[in-house]
Amino acid sequence: MLELGSFLDTILDIFKFFSTSVRILENTIIFRNSAGVHRHPTRPIFILSLLLGWAAGLIFSCPPVWASPLDVYGFTSRHAAMANTGTAFADDYSGVYYNPAALILAEYPAFGFGFIYSNPSLSVETTPEVKNKISPVKNLTGFPIGLVLPFSGKLKNRVSFGLGLFLTGDLNRTYFVSGYAPKTNYPQFIQVDQRIYRTAINLGIAVRPIRFLSLGIGVHLIPNSPGKMYIKMDANNYSGGGNPPEAYLNFNWKYHISPTAGLLLELHPRWKIGLAFRDEVDTLLDIPVDTVITLLGIDERLKIPLKAHMDYTPRQLALGASFQALPSLKTALDLTWVAWSRFPSPSGEMQIEETQGIPLPLEEIQKNLPRNPDPDFHDTLVPALSAEWSVRKDLRIRGGYSFIPTPVYDQSSRETNFLDSSRHLLTFGMGVSYQDPFGIFPRPVSLDLHLQEHIFQNRKTVKSDPGNPGYPDYEIGGSILSGGVSFRMEL
């Protein structure tokens, strides 16, 4: 959920911002009029521009979210232990993410839930001044929950439905949705910086029109939060007089719907080939701020739209194959194209659309507001290889490897300072099946465990512009260790 306490503190800071900016303008106007000199616009424009830029940074103060939580850590412990592969063999509710067509592989109705925890150890070697501008990557927790319902009767092995829910947070809270707009060009981790802090809902349905072909469609639902803000205050309020400020904040919770689709070819009892498409998710926090400020007994009206991309998940196309090399050994290979080139600027946007009352030179003010340069990312191809060995009927050992290239070009000659590097993903896990000792579930219960190590390649950036927030240089590296457990019960 939104951190309301932090958000209300931000609102109070905005009150102070408007009070301060208006008093400066008022004093400047009165001083210059009383001195009998002509009003010069440079000082008011400059001060107001700086304060507007500062307010834009204040309005968004929650953790950043730049992709799906499932992209980084996987949906269940089985797939997380197999380097997040699953396009051709996701035979339970995990198919709602990996490939909705694979839901058809589920033989029985099943319900499952799990727990994921990550412990980042990322390093940034730089000066103390630069390091103070970087938001740290924190520990986080995730709670995957899912259900798969294959149809029975005449539709048995023909139609199957799946539902998946992924809750995220930290050790103290669970987040419904979160968002953040970092200050323009400040150093920031872009792929792993608390980006899984949100709730994700996936729905999918699969049909098998012919024996060897299955088709699936689905949706990925992300909470969205369009709203409005109204502020009314007396400019003298902070100097001991006037009426107390009034503020109204209204959010209309909605869902952003992103389609998914897939197909599954079962060309041979030992071979399966899958293709899955996941469309991009781009949720925009758009809050029109209607501000009325009483200045010298006159109501001045400003309309300031605040916009920021709360969450962006790139469009993806995954091709996967699974091969039963031996009766006890399954191998899998996935290759995923990720359209990072469409990535929008993560920094918030702010502008004054119209004013009533005090005449403001809007064009000059806009020139002094922070500019959001194009991130200019490039698309990537992510290969992943995995294997699952059935030691016994009730014991399976799993492992995998994936190379995840960075979409970020070298930042040395750019205005931006995106902290990211290519990384190696090493995974390991095991699964056991046992009969329910209480007799509640007629079929064996599955328990899966996994570990993941994300190893970041060292990457150094040297800045030549002393005015750049990343000057003089920085070098990133380190790793993220994550692990978890999943339970699955066939009904």
- Decide if 479 is inside a domain: no
- Decide if 30 is inside a domain: yes
How far the first Cα of the chain sits from its last, in Å, is 32
Query: Alpha carbon 121 to chain centroid distance?
Result: 20
Contact 84, 74 (CB under 8 A): yes
- Decide if 280 is inside a domain: yes
> Which alpha helices (DSSP H) does 295-399 contain, by range?
362-368
Q: What is the pLDDT of residue 214?
A: 97
Q: What is the pLDDT of residue 35?
A: 36
- Decide if 481 is inside a domain: no
Q: What is the pLDDT of residue 77?
A: 96
Q: What is the pLDDT of residue 461?
A: 95
- Decide if 450 is inside a domain: no
DSSP state of 136: P
Range of the domain at 275: 4-372
Q: What is the pLDDT of residue 83?
A: 97
Q: Which helix (H) or strand (E) holds 16?
A: helix 4-34
- Decide if 12 is inside a domain: yes
Predicted model pTM: 0.79
Q: What is the pLDDT of residue 1?
A: 35
- Decide if 342 is inside a domain: yes
- Decide if 349 is inside a domain: yes
319's tokens: 């091709």
CA distance 73 to 168: 12
CATH of the domain at 304: 2.40.160
Smallest CA-to-CA distance from 90 within 397, 78, 280, 81 is with 78
pLDDT tens-place values along the chain, 491 residues long: 334 344 334 434 443 443 333 333 333 333 233 333 333 333 333 334 433 443 444 444 444 445 577 888 999 999 999 999 999 999 999 999 999 999 999 999 999 999 999 999 999 999 998 888 887 787 878 899 999 999 999 999 999 999 999 888 655 555 555 555 556 678 888 877 655 566 788 999 999 999 999 999 999 987 665 566 656 655 555 444 555 556 555 656 667 789 999 999 998 889 999 999 999 988 777 777 777 766 666 666 777 777 777 778 899 999 999 999 899 999 999 999 999 999 887 766 666 666 666 566 666 666 666 667 888 999 999 999 999 999 998 999 999 999 999 999 999 999 889 999 999 999 999 999 988 777 788 888 999 999 999 999 999 999 999 989 999 999 999 999 999 999 999 88
CA dihedral 77, 80, 84, 89 (to 10 degrees): -30
- The total number of structural domains that make up the chain: 1
